[in-house]
Structure 1
């Protein structure tokens, strides 16, 4: 974080400063990382004692102090001898502090803020864009999927006076969430990747999801840029809802940034990217799945608006070894067995794309095995979407289906009811039983996809299978 005095922070947060020690006063300067987890504190850090569902951060102020914290932002004074700023709401204070820091850096430097949202692909796109921009200047991007009311401000607070690019991933569980994050970060560039059924149960339907994602572009400045997916009609419809300049990406012929010659293999995804006024550039992604071409185009589109030549963006993307941990992560290798661990998250769109990739990259005569868990947070759409995936598995001739967990059992039933399988689908209540089956069932040359929502935790099963077939 940038250097600020305790008084500056207290004033901005409308909080009350309690120095806590004889050597701390309003003029004391703090500039350490801001954390809400006391275990992540480093010397000089700032601890935000937020209340959680299962515990209360105020109980861990002492632990933060022991690890070297110099300031605690609290909702009531604590007995620990540390400088404290008492605020009405710790999470709101975290956001306001982030807004203050970004405003300060913007006023003195050349900071550009990029916001990214979408039902799928936010983290992958963020990683791709970070890889491109980090070669151009100091870039701050979220760790993992820090994209909510806590994670996004925590990312924003990592900027320094020399930061040139700030990437903010913006997720939502309801209408208004993205608008609040946009108000904090005030993006210069807003990216919308897709409007799908991820978390549709929480939103209350696809139209509510559309309204929530549109919040990314409605408040962009006229000098800003809205980067929109031309292949998604719902995203494309946002073009007339923003005052910003619109840049469209996709495979459509009228997209500004466009991909052609897309080809997926077991080692990655290749395509050619086109942009106005530049020579086409070949892109060699080491990330599996044609659906990641859209994410790459989004990242290239942002970089293009910031003046990065197409060829340089393409070259940078070629150095990205994986999208993210547990996202189309290629494991195994022994006996020509490929394990694709894509079980960090799952929506109908991402599940369908992963299964399509499994079918596409398998070599002739070799088997494909889909190990699937539940897609969560779909509400009233859950049953029909699990049925649709079961149908897709059969129609794409996936060799084996292994369904894990009671919440996903409908997938197994749907595949069987399709009528064209005889014993190719099996069901297990838990991961241990599934692992034992797969350890005996997998043969040389198999390609295995492990996919589920985060709550099903099949990513750990994927890791176990990866270890089993590693060199």
Structure 2
């Protein structure tokens, strides 16, 4: 982060200084909420959590060399402390001040991305593209909420030219709060689906929340919107910014054509808003990730990155992120696709379609599916829909893991026309024991679920089992 004194950080966060003999001490380290990440000179935020309390880990942070603690109660530690009412709010205020200071230097551009699916992949693609142009900061993993986003912002330095901000939400107002910390120059909305619909209270509320990404943009900014998603396309009426459309249809300025998928990735013809076109061999598995590539390309072009640099960067990316369409295995011709970091109805359907698209003639396909969480009242019918999709795509075998996903199993066995098989087990361990015996040489296996179902670790175990 850029250098700030303890007194300046206290002023930004409205904090009371405790155990601070020198308020002029300069802080340049990173900010953390996990004491295991702390190194000498860093800031540790003692954030109370759902299951534990960050104050309990402050001694470990101090021992690791933390130069400053942000606390909600004074601690008996010989480390400067900033006492605040709410550590998360203070973290956001700290980030807001730091972003403002870097903005004042005149060269920072902020690109923010939201959507029901694809945020992390698009963020990673943008980081790859922009890092080749100038110093770029982007979130680790899925740091996209009121804690993760400001932690990323606090990594900014005087040299940073690009900040890629991933902005997630589970309710109205959450994206707006993140934008208040770091208003984007380019705001991207990928899609609006049923992910987190239960928390939002319905698809209409999801639209309102995602619209916050572009509603505060000015005429000097750029909105990058999905032309193929009617809910996203409707957001054009809510922004003062000029819109760059991306998609597969003819109305998109940045578009893909001649899309061809196989087990090695997806090839397509990329056309930018300038009219320039290039062939792309995109190694991230799954045709649905082409839309993420288009969004990243559209934002990069708006910043001024040329098509050759965009294509070179896109073709250099082999994996969107761990547990996202991650290809594992290989022994005995067995391929494991571990896509179990998260799941919504849209991403689950896309993964199943990819499984069907990339199989070779005669190859068996096995879908190992778990619960799609946070769907609320839509949960039952959406699990039914995924089960029926597995039948329609003629997936060879379905293994459902967990009783919360049972309706996928029931909907498939009720389809008398399907000649595949469906089974259900309660736990990932039971699934592993079954699959260890059931997987045959040459099989193509997809593992997909929401994070809460923990099937990502099952995917890792299968990948290791069939590794060389």
TM over 0.5: yes
- Whether the aligned pair in 1 keeps the contact of 2:395 and 2:420 (CA below 8 Å) is no
Tell me which residue corresponds to 1:173: 170
Of residues 323, 326, 343, the one that matches 2:320 is 323
- Whether the aligned pair in 1 keeps the contact of 2:189 and 2:210 (CA below 8 Å) is yes
Equivalent positions of 1:148-167 (< 5 A) are 148-167=145-164
Equivalent positions of 1:376-455 (< 5 A) are 376-421=373-418, 424-455=421-452
Q: How many residue pairs are counted as aligned between the two chains?
A: 468
Tell me which residue corresponds to 2:11: 11
The structural deviation recorded for 1:423 is: 6.1
Query: What is the TM-score when the length of structure 2 is the normalising length?
Result: 0.99
- Whether the aligned pair in 1 keeps the contact of 2:401 and 2:428 (CA below 8 Å) is yes
- Whether the aligned pair in 2 keeps the contact of 1:224 and 1:244 (CA below 8 Å) is yes
Tell me which residue corresponds to 2:310: 313
- Whether the aligned pair in 1 keeps the contact of 2:344 and 2:450 (CA below 8 Å) is yes
- Whether the aligned pair in 1 keeps the contact of 2:224 and 2:244 (CA below 8 Å) is yes
Query: What is the TM-score when the length of structure 1 is the normalising length?
Result: 0.98
The structural deviation recorded for 1:278 is: 4.2
- Whether the aligned pair in 1 keeps the contact of 2:197 and 2:376 (CA below 8 Å) is yes
Task: Give me the whole-angstrom Cα distance separating, in 2, the residues matched to 1:281 and 1:106.
Answer: 34
Asked whether 1:215 is paired with 2:207, we answer no
* Structure 1: tracts of 5 or more residues without a match: none
Task: Give me the whole-angstrom Cα distance separating, in 2, the residues matched to 1:243 and 1:396.
Answer: 43
Tell me which residue corresponds to 2:455: 458
Larger deviation, residues 197-206 vs 56-65: 56-65
SS in 2 for 1:318: helix
Task: Give me the whole-angstrom Cα distance separating, in 2, the residues matched to 1:113 and 1:221.
Answer: 14
- Whether the aligned pair in 2 keeps the contact of 1:19 and 1:26 (CA below 8 Å) is no
- Whether the aligned pair in 1 keeps the contact of 2:247 and 2:294 (CA below 8 Å) is yes
- Whether the aligned pair in 2 keeps the contact of 1:19 and 1:25 (CA below 8 Å) is no
The structural deviation recorded for 1:340 is: 0.2
Asked whether 1:113 is paired with 2:110, we answer yes
The structural deviation recorded for 1:179 is: 0.6
Equivalent positions of 1:8-407 (< 5 A) are 8-20=8-20, 24-407=21-404
Offset from partner CA, 1:69-103 (integer Å, 9 cap, x none): 00001112111000011112110010011011111
SS in 2 for 1:115: strand
- Whether the aligned pair in 2 keeps the contact of 1:231 and 1:252 (CA below 8 Å) is yes
Task: Give me the whole-angstrom Cα distance separating, in 1, the residues matched to 2:456 and 2:24.
Answer: 48
Task: Give me the whole-angstrom Cα distance separating, in 1, the residues matched to 2:366 and 2:51.
Answer: 38
Task: Give me the whole-angstrom Cα distance separating, in 1, the residues matched to 2:452 and 2:325.
Answer: 17
Task: Give me the whole-angstrom Cα distance separating, in 2, the residues matched to 1:271 and 1:315.
Answer: 14
Task: Give me the whole-angstrom Cα distance separating, in 1, the residues matched to 2:207 and 2:227.
Answer: 15
